[in-house]
Structure 1
Amino acid sequence: MQEEQQWIRDVLAGDKQSYAHIINKYKNPLYATILRMTKNPHDAQDLVQEAFIKVYEQLGKYDQTGSFSSWLYRVAINHCMDEFRKKRYKMKQIEIEEGTMICADTPELLFFKNEESRRLERLIATLPEDERVIILLRYVNELSYQEIGDLVDVSLATVRNKLHRAKKKLREIVKREGGNFHEVSDCR
């Protein structure tokens, strides 16, 4: 955290090379989040690059009192939402690469985990954009309700309500399809 604050000070003082440290630290988690929003690797790469440009341009607006990562995500997600509105962005389905969201266990467990992950990705893609973003920020990026509210500029109650509605919709879809999700343990 202290190192990160130093990078920010260095960039603001004119050392553009220090920005590479910030990019290296956040490029993968930001890409993962935006990929789940867009469902298109090419669009996600473009949006991540554009988001880092926005962050760089707005770095002077970061007040250094709150979490830098939350501020960075807010700038990036706001940029994505603006682009979605401009282009009337349509979701495109992608397949999750084998083994990207699972750990090495038995072949049967790997199969179930992979199938569950793909199914969950498809279900989340059916949610409205605002609910989908909140689900991803909560369960993929593991942000708190308050951090999510700050990022998407809504109240804590709104975050809770949208999250509750999204999970309810997902449960209803699963129930309607006559299925359920198998409980699998996390690999640690």
Structure 2
Amino acid sequence: MTANHTDDLQLLARIKVGESRAFDLLFVKYYPNLLHFSRSLLPYPSDEAEDVVLEVFHQFWRNRDTINIHTSLSAFLYVSVKNRIYDYRRKLKLNTPLEDIHGDTMASQEGPDHTLNYKEVAENIEKLIRLLPERMQLIFRMNREDELSYQEIADLLEISINSVKTQMYRAIKFLKETYRFDSSVV
């Protein structure tokens, strides 16, 4: 069990008893990536992506005492966003498959210099991640930041697990090669 999963379980327990601060922490932790995911599944740029994510969080808070999560909390939130988008698309009578819309698309206490260097490295890596193609970036973030398994990502994005593996391999290869050999990019 990862530290992130354990933290999520603790947050969930606190949320279930009505602790709004725990809900705020959950929101801050997952909102940016869920918004990016939502935008990637909608057919055109709109405020709907933000509305979808906010509705998911609103419903999560409203039903907090009855929610039973059998997967990870992040997987639950991603599936909730995906289902909400399906509902939204159904209301608009959009029948285009999601794939067609999307397209191809730690610091130690050693001292301030070490912390500064760590922050600089983290910023450089983040810049490189932003250079990845949108779909590859999404898959990479879902795996590395949200700790979703390849199978969970494949299920959420409705692609094969081999596609997820290939995208992750290419992303990691790009990040390693670019960071090592071309620091001018960052």
How high is the TM-score relative to the length of structure 2?
Answer: 0.55
Cα 1:25/1:109, change in 2 over 3 Å: closer
Aligned to 1:141: 146
Cα 1:31/1:65, change in 2 over 3 Å: closer
Shift of 1:71: 2.8
Shift of 1:153: 2.3
Deviation per CA, 1:58-117, whole angstroms, max 9, x where unpaired? 999xx967426213123437879x9xxxxx9xxxxxxxxxxxx74543122112101101
Matches within 5 A, 1:1-188: 23-24=23-24, 26-34=26-34, 50-54=52-56, 66-67=70-71, 69=73, 70-76=75-81, 102=107, 104-177=109-182
Distance 1:71 1:176 in 2: 39
Cα 1:66/1:112, change in 2 over 3 Å: same
* Structure 2 portions without partners, runs of 5+: 1-8, 40-47, 89-101
Distance 1:113 1:36 in 2: 26
* Structure 1 portions without partners, runs of 5+: 9-17, 39-45, 83-87, 89-100, 180-188
Q: Secondary structure at the match of 1:143?
A: coil
Distance 1:65 1:35 in 2: 21
Distance 1:129 1:26 in 2: 24
**Equivalenced residues, count:** 143
Deviation per CA, 1:142-181, whole angstroms, max 9, x where unpaired? 22222222222222211111100111122232244168xx
Contact 2:35–2:49 under 8 Å retained in 1: no
Letter in 1 for 2:134: E
Distance 1:110 1:147 in 2: 34
How high is the TM-score relative to the length of structure 1?
Answer: 0.54
Percent identity of equivalent pairs: 22
